[in-house]
Amino acid sequence: MQQSEEALASSVTNLDNDDLEAVLLADEGTASAFLRLLPHPADVVEALRAVAVKEWPRLLRLVGDDSERAETVALLEEDERGRLLELLAPEEIGQLIKNLDSDDATDVLEDLEPSEQKEALLSLLPHERAQVEDLLRYEPDTAGGIMQVERAQVKQGETVDDAVARVRALVEDDIQVQVVYVVDDEERLIGVVDIAKLLLHRKEKKIADLVDPVIATVQPDVDQEQVAHLFKKYGIFSLPVVDREGRLLGRILHDDVIDVVVEEAEEDALKQAGTSSEELLYRDRVFAIARVRLPWLIVTLMGSMVSAKLIHLYAGVLNTAIVLAAFVPVVTAMGGNVGTQSSTILTRGLATGRVDMRDLLSVVLRELRVGLLMGLVCGAAVGGIAILFFSDGKLALGFVVFAAMVCAMTVAATVGTLAPAIMKRAGIDPAIASGPFVTTANDSIGIVIYLSTALFFLERLK
């Protein structure tokens, strides 16, 4: 019987979108029976995506378990959750956050207007409301913004029996517990006790005799990228959050860090393309999307105008040897590509902690050598083509193209490395440097190098 239920659940989760839509838009009995077969709230989320958002409130009400319904909403993407909450009544939102851990409840409340937040918070017990209101004070992309306050905590003078009681109370509320945090009388974090240790000792054993040192802690205002770096560095499952005096405030779990890694990678990719994650909230709102994209397009446009002006300044060179114009896009494109590669490598290195600002000089020198090597290879290839097919056998054009590409690609690699480092030092997200900024800057630099080199050999190019 169990095997047949598992087989049925597996077949349900493998339905295509058309079949899912047909089932979910059928009568409530059919849709309700289908949703009960789904093994996890994540599967409910996938099913919801097969139908229009306006159908989601009806379907959520058919999810029988309050906790499963709340977790389904917590697993939605931010833009999806925001559109769903617009369709729910305040009392429904309140019921959702009652069944969520503090960190997930905070995520849901952050999608609401202040007046709606207050109304939803009324559904919580006074101590729960105070906890969530404290979490709302932190910026969403900080350690405080992703921590949860629920944790197993005991004082060093308590016993194994006291710790086990704390753990049981949390587990009964479906809260994950891996370690028990040990604090002093001032709530300052002293250390941790692994769950396995509690099972190996008598219930009257003092916690102070079992405590292990804490591997790492983090303060609530630390950026979430740094939090993700600590999880990766130490391979930990949870990370305690403490204030400046060392008092324990909460903890961050590994599942929240997975979300952070995905979010940061997506954010960097969008910034490199000259847009932002804000655009994902707008869906079909054309004017709002254009407003997000336009600033960086305008930056690129202004940079292109600089390039156009530079070409105009060198008009005499181009008029004297018109064949030079054929290689302007080649030189600028190669410089832009090399610069983008270098800036992307350094940006990701800074984000993941593999590169430190103290390593900047060695990284710049490495990228300079790489740019020089690639310039020699590409410059030789393009210079040879220029001699064979564009200059009637004159060596001057080939040499100009070769020299310009070597210089342009070497400089581009250096600029691509320095730009994100400078932005990092200035407190600006270095991911911005990997997009239109570097490409536009290297276009202008490439034009100047190419046409200035041509100017020295103008007589030989006629």
Note the pLDDT tens digit of each residue in 368-404. Answer: 999 999 999 999 999 999 888 887 767 888 899 999 9
User: Could you give the CA distance from residue 404 to residue 402 in angstroms, rounded to a whole number?
Assistant: 6
Question: Does the pLDDT value for residue 307 go beyond 60?
Answer: yes
- Report the pLDDT value the prediction gives residue 2, as an integer from 0 to 100: 44
Q: Which residues contact 271 (CB under 8 A, 6 or more apart)?
A: 429, 431, 432, 434, 435
The enclosing H or E element of 129 equals helix 126-136
- Report the pLDDT value the prediction gives residue 247, as an integer from 0 to 100: 95
The mean pLDDT of 278-300, rounded to a whole number, is 66
Question: Does the pLDDT value for residue 81 go beyond 50?
Answer: yes
- pTM equals 0.67
List the domains of the chain with CATH numbers. Answer: 2-143 (1.25.60.10), 153-254 (3.10.580.10), 293-461 (1.10.357.20)
Q: Which residue has the tokens 């710049």?
A: 364
By three-state DSSP, how is residue 123 classified? coil
The mean pLDDT of 420-435, rounded to a whole number, is 73
User: Could you give the CA distance from residue 74 to residue 106 in angstroms, rounded to a whole number?
Assistant: 10
User: Could you give the CA distance from residue 355 to residue 163 in angstroms, rounded to a whole number?
Assistant: 41
- Report the pLDDT value the prediction gives residue 285, as an integer from 0 to 100: 66
- Report the pLDDT value the prediction gives residue 112, as an integer from 0 to 100: 86
**Nearest by Cα to 219 from 150, 152, 140, 144:** 144
